[in-house]
Amino acid sequence: MNLIFDSPRPPVVFIDTTVLCGALRKNGINRKILKAARKPYLFHPVVSTVCLFEFVRNASQGLGRGKSLLKYNHQEIEAFLNKFVYPILEYYQGLPANSKIGRYNVETILREHRPIGEVLIELSGCDNEMAQQIASTQEMEEPLYHFDQDDFHVWITAIQEDCDYILTTNDRRFPSSIGLIQRIHPRDFYTHLT
């Protein structure tokens, strides 16, 4: 399957914080994807306000572990955003997407024992068709606490923005699909782009 040519329109792709952090740390696939995001015929990127805040917080507190921990100052973070993220936002109307749900949300904590699919349907306010797609996925029957509730904002925003893919390196406690929205690793996504 080729993401670009198997669909009548370019796919809508949510870019997770992990991709931004990876692009800051290293000149690799994540940076190539951010550069490709400026070409609307390849894919339509979605960047959320919450992910941008997470990115700035993570970069300033440090990325990596142990001796490879790298902390970035305000100028380094701003230079990265100016070069790789702001051009994308400017091309696509200049604003990041806003999620109905933020990080560390009491709404998800109160519902943590309910099936993740039910909670996503309830809090996203999605239409009936999307609700049926979400409810039909076996993984969506698992309780919300099996997943990383801090990432709930990503899933809600991906639903709101009619995304086809969530681009992330986070495959731990992150659903493989939400209805028709598929989680995809940057390496796999870049393979399809090339």
In the block, tokens 């993740």 appear at: 116
Q: Is 171 helix (H, G, I), strand (E, B) or coil?
A: coil
Residue 87 identity (one-letter amino acid): P
SS3 labels along 36-87: HCCCCCCCEEECEHHHHHHHHHHHHHCECCHHHCECCCHHHHHHHHHHHHHH
Task: Return the exposure string of 63-91: e unless at least 16 CB atoms fall within 10 Å of the residue's CB, then b.
Answer: beeeeeeeebeeeebeebbeebbeebbee
Please state the domain extents for the chain.
12-193
Report whether 92 contacts 45 (CB < 8 A): yes
Report whether 186 contacts 167 (CB < 8 A): yes
The one-digit pLDDT tens for each residue of the chain (194 residues) are 565 556 678 999 999 999 999 999 999 999 999 999 998 889 999 999 999 999 999 999 999 888 888 999 999 999 999 999 999 988 877 678 877 666 666 777 778 888 888 888 888 888 888 888 888 887 888 888 888 888 888 999 999 999 999 999 998 888 899 999 999 999 999 999 87
CA-wise closest residue to 30 among 166, 182, 168: 168
12-193: CATH topology is Rossmann fold (3.40.50)
